[in-house]
Amino acid sequence: MAEELDPFRIAQEQLKEAAQVMKLDNAALQLLLEPMRTYIFSIPVRMRDGSTKTFTGFRVHHNDARGPCKGGIRFHPAETLDTVKALASWMTWKCSLANIPYGGGKGGVICDPKKLNQTELEALSRGYTRAVAKFIGPKVDVMAPDVYTTPQIMAWMVDEYSKIVGHNEPAVITGKPLEVWGSEGRNDSTALGAMYILREAAKYKKINLKTATIAIQGAGNAGNYAFSLSKKLFGSKVVAISDSQGGIYSKKGLDYEKVMEAKDKKGTVQAYKDAEKITNEELLQLGVDVLIPSAIENQITGSNASKVKAKILLELANGPVTPEADKILAHSKVFDLPDFLINSGGVIGSYFEWLQNVSGYYWKLDEFNARLDEMVTRSFHDVMQRQEEYAEAGKKVSARTAAYTIAVDRVAKAMKARGWY
């Protein structure tokens, strides 16, 4: 039987497993298995040749029992509604685990932004904003960048929304440039939060990060910052990194500046000469101390999970490990830390930006980073404690399931208190 790789079905399966462990009320489970609201819409854009092309867009609100929905927007040629629904549900658990007052949301557009010029990209961004304007807002749904969307796109969107409502409204979107009410620290907060958790995980597993080797799948925003920050904070040796075209490996370690220079010039890390070319699949199987998948969903599956040799698996991407892979990793020596814990620094950073926008008072970078460190460190130890509590009760659960039980319990209690079930 073929392994289920639909991200939304995977998200539902993960929830059901946690619900069974924690004996969740069935009424609460049924409320949480499906999004509360799903929007599908068309966005007409005048193209450079004078024609009009219609793009399909999505916005999903999974659950808002604990506060406004929160989630990014993806521009991707392979975007699907099920992917957006999965990401929205994972955002619910991410916000709940971090214990910030948000629910889960997500958005996307089926498009290839690499084939759009600046004018077309701006028109698409503003068109998306107009399409969702009635369903978003600082107290309703707060958007942010995600795959192939940028701070510049967020600036266009906040400008369009502000025109619609008739006043400046920076708190409707996070991940904005500093010039339009963005926050210091937001750009690298996803990777920095992961590095703070890696520090705690290394202590937990007695691994010396100064001598540790790291492989990173994905050279986008999160992977790029993970590369630079792991060297800057710990002195770790990044021996491999990849992008959509393939990867590179060097036992002696990779030079960050030269790798990124090669990627900027040629569009791929494989343009870096002083390393061996490898595939993404080979990168996942390297015998390193830390493996960081920071690309897209379903990278570690039932077919390759047994080949993962890393001591720590730091899930920086959303949904990189499938349920079948989870079962295999649970019986291995790999210390697998779940995505909605590891990449929570991004939404925590967005929360900080939103707080500053709402209050009109802006923090210094040191304050931002110190608060981020405090919150992700607490979440890591909450998960470890919950996992140990289950173990003491004679029930072995993964770190992912332990994290789910914390997050789901908080949302279920909020729904119960509000009289939803």
8 A C-beta contact, residue 380 and residue 342: no
> What span, in angstroms and rounded, lies between the C-alpha atoms of 302 and 4?
10
> What span, in angstroms and rounded, lies between the C-alpha atoms of 317 and 300?
11
> What span, in angstroms and rounded, lies between the C-alpha atoms of 177 and 125?
15
The DSSP bridge pattern shows strands 103-110 and 52-63 to be antiparallel
Which residue in the list 94, 106, 237, 311 is annotated as catalytic? 106
> What span, in angstroms and rounded, lies between the C-alpha atoms of 229 and 234?
8
> What span, in angstroms and rounded, lies between the C-alpha atoms of 212 and 310?
11
- Nearest Cα neighbor of 383 from 343, 342, 331 is 342
Respond yes or no: is residue 139 known to be catalytic. no
Sheet containing 290-293: give its strands across.
276-278, 246-249, 237-243, 213-217, 290-293, 312-314, 335-337
8 A C-beta contact, residue 325 and residue 300: yes
> What span, in angstroms and rounded, lies between the C-alpha atoms of 345 and 254?
25
393: tokens are 């009760």
175: tokens are 């991940």
> What span, in angstroms and rounded, lies between the C-alpha atoms of 410 and 418?
12
**SS3 (DSSP) at 182:** coil
265: tokens are 């010039």
> What span, in angstroms and rounded, lies between the C-alpha atoms of 157 and 137?
12
Active site residues: 106
